[in-house]
Every structure is written in C-alpha cells, then in structure tokens.
Amino acid sequence: MIHCPTCGHQSELDQKFCRKCGFNLEQISKLVVAGAGSDAESGRMENDRAILRRMYRWMMWGCLILLVGLLMLVTGKAFDVPKFLSPLASFLMIGGTAAATYGVLAALRDGVVSSKKLHRKTNGHSQLAGSQTAELSDNAIAISVPSVTERTTQLIGEENTKQ
C-alpha cells in the first residue's frame, strides 16, 4: 500500500494512477518496491549465509568426530587394544552423528525463525505506517489539485483575456 503524494489517497502498489486525483503512481511504486526490497533482501541473504556457515561448521566437526570413532573401532578390531576403546569408539561415532544432525536441524530451525521474524517485521511496519497516515489524514488539510481538463480550461481562459 502506498499513499498518493498529491492527495494522500491510499492506493495499491500495482496501480498506475491514483483513483482520486489521477496522479501517476507508477514511478513511486517502483521506488517503494526497490527501496523496501533491497535492504530486506540483503539482510535476509546475509542471515541465510550465517546460518549455512554454522550448519557446515557443525557438520564438519560431526563428520570429523565420526571418522575418529570409526578409526578407533577399526583399529580396535584389527589390533589387540584395551577393551575400553570399543565403547569409546561407539560413543564418538554416535556423538559425531548427533553433532552433524544438530547442525542440519539447527539451520532448519534458524531459517524458519528468521523468516517468521521477517514476516512479523514487514507486517508490523505496514500496520505502523497505516496508523501514522490515519492520524495524519485527520489533521492534514488536503490541497486540491486541478485535473488536466480544469487546468486546460484555465489556460484557455487566460488566453481569451489577453486578446
């Protein structure tokens, strides 16, 4: 939703002209969409990158721990090693799998939470803007702008008086 800069009438973003005064809203709609989209989009992309970095870090450490546990298990079966290494190897393999799984699930959770926050922020912004303009429209005095035909009629009248 945008407001006509001429008369203050509320209009949709896809409208080309104001329904009340006929002002061309196409350029204003483009500016509003470009301005709102660039900041929000860049912030969202940076947030997504941070979530992916955390996920890859957790997965890398989980796979490394899993590999150490697997090596300990294979080494324990091939060579004569103390008995406590077998449960330790199993514990490391389970821990590594859990760490990698946590990385994926945390990234999914953070992605859902950030999209909900973004959705709430944009809805809150539009509600705030609507309440501010509602207050302004009660206190402001609208200046009527003549239509194209009224202005043409005025110019014709001026030409007639000059002759």
Q: How far apart are CA 18 and CA 5, in angstroms?
A: 10
Statement: the pTM of the whole predicted model exceeds 0.75: no
Number of domains composing the chain? 1
CA 12, chain centre distance (Å): 20
DSSP secondary-structure letter at 140?
A: S
By residue range, what is the domain housing residue 62? 2-139
What mean pLDDT is predicted for residues 78-91? 83
Residue 31 in any domain: the answer is yes
Q: Evaluate whether residue 131 is within a structural domain.
A: yes
In a domain, 66, yes or no: yes
- Is 152 within a domain? no
Q: What is the DSSP letter of 143?
A: P
Backbone angles phi, psi at 12, to 5 degrees: -80, 160
pLDDT for the residue 93 = 94
pLDDT for 133-163, tens place per residue?
445 555 556 566 667 677 777 777 777 777 6
DSSP summary character for residue 24: B
| Per-residue pLDDT, 137 | 52
Domain assignment present for residue 147? The answer is no
